[in-house]
Amino acid sequence: MKIAILSAMEEELIPLLETLKDYESINYANNTYYTAKYKNHDLILAYSKIGKVNSTLSASIMIEKFKAEVLLFTGVAGSFNEKLKIGDLIIASKVVQYDLDITAFGHPLGFVPGNEIFVKTDTKLNNLALDIAKNLNIKLLQGIIATGDEFICDENKKAKIRQIFNADACDMEGANVVLVCNALNVPCLLLRAISDNAGEKAEFDFDEFLVKSAKISANFIFKICDRL
């Protein structure tokens, strides 16, 4: 199977490449893509760079140019749910872009014509991840991840997004990648390890726990590849 593994930042990709050791790099569209063999799979890996536009571009390239059949997104997120502590894992059951705002025209936040507010991820991949976590006795929550082009480190913004969308975590790339996969009929799993609590001083927690949380997410991604 040809599997795309995408992250947003180099720190999230490095644990994957360190595990693989043997890989080739391809420069394309102002980014670097890595190809490798893993057991019976052909992997294509990349870090998109931060933000919705960058990750949309990378996800599209992985599917359209490199012909990925499945896309796994690994990385970190901020917690909106008190049950999620730093280092815990979450997969998205569905995603939402919290900063899509045409409320001036009477539409709800997160909605634009032609799209649903919430986009679902792949049920089979989610169930596979939950089964792996159960077998390994790993805490894994399934919930809603809200995406926007902003690092949330403000308690009031966090509370607003949580209230409107019932979001469990936030990131800066996930929802649009899921939207790309949904449009192109490619199964997608969005896996995040919690790096901060998305509130006051979240930026300091993020810097401290980024690498550790990224490794936790990357290790779990390989467990999923083992079962695909």
Show Cβ contacts of residue 99 under 8 Å, excluding neighbours closer than 6 positions. Answer: 148, 149, 150
pTM: 0.92
- The torsion defined by the Cα of 74, 223, 119 and 103, in degrees rounded to 10, comes to -30
pLDDT value of residue 227: 94
| Structural contact between residues 178 and 92, judged by C-beta atoms closer than 8 angstroms | yes
CA distance 155 to 178: 27
CATH assignment, 2-227: 3.40.50.1580
Catalytic site residues? 12, 196
The tens-digit pLDDT sequence of the chain (228 residues) is 999 999 998 888 999 999 999 999 999 999 999 999 999 999 999 999 999 999 999 999 999 999 999 999 998 889 899 899 888 999 999 999 999 999 999 999 999 999 999 999 999 999 999 999 999 899 999 999 999 999 888 888 989 999 999 999 999 999 999 999 999 999 999 999 888 775 555 554 565 667 777 888 888 999 999 999
pLDDT value of residue 6: 97
Structure-token pair, residue 33: 């893509």
pLDDT value of residue 213: 75
